[in-house]
Amino acid sequence: MSKAIEVGIIMGSKSDLPVMKDAAEILDQFGIGYEINIVSAHRTPELMFDYAKNAHSRGIKVIVAGAGGAAHLPGMTASLTPLPVIGVPVKSSNSIDGWDSILSILQMPNGIPVATVALNAAKNAGILAAKIIGASNPDVLNTLSGYMEELKEKVLDSAKDLK
């Protein structure tokens, strides 16, 4: 039986995939179903409009949107959907050290929030998506608690290794 798709992972171009696959990998680890697609705000705006407006009716609960350069995909998606959107700024080949992407996603006007993670931090976007889903899903919440305990143990083990 396949998992229900609860997270939509979208990116502006195929060149964003090496970053955005980290969100997919962590969602796999947490047992959360997702879909992944290329949806460009600039080159396929009709596709972006359709995706954003209809994702909730297909069972999506959170959208993770990654984009580089001008990085309009997360904000435009957020303006069209009632779902939470997590933006992943991607340092692209034409980027200004990633700052253009960070600021394009971070500096949204009041009324159109986009949760924004660090540059290239799609793994954190996946974890945040899992936390949003975990707020109403005890199984995901328990998996997240175990993940956090593993992080704690790694730090404690590292501290022991220093002594």
Residue ranges for the binding site for substrate? 13, 16, 43
Q: Does the predicted model carry a pTM greater than 0.75?
A: yes
Residue whose C-alpha is closest to residue 133's, from 66, 38, 57, 33: 33
Q: Kind and range of the H or E element at 82?
A: none
| pLDDT band at residue 1 under the 50/70/90 scheme | low
CATH of the domain at 67: 3.40.50.1970
H-helix or E-strand containing 110? Answer: none
What mean pLDDT do residues 59-63 have? 98
Residue ranges of the annotated binding site are 13, 16, 43
Cβ neighbours of residue 110 closer than 8 Å, sequence gap 6 or more: none
Q: What is the pLDDT of residue 120?
A: 97
Average pLDDT along the chain: 95
Report the domain count for the chain: 1
Over residues 24-50, mean pLDDT: 97
Q: What angle do CA 9, 66, 125 make, to 5 degrees?
A: 70
Domain that holds residue 26: 5-162
From CA 23, how far away is CA 1, in angstroms rounded? 22
Secondary structure letter of residue 42 according to DSSP: T
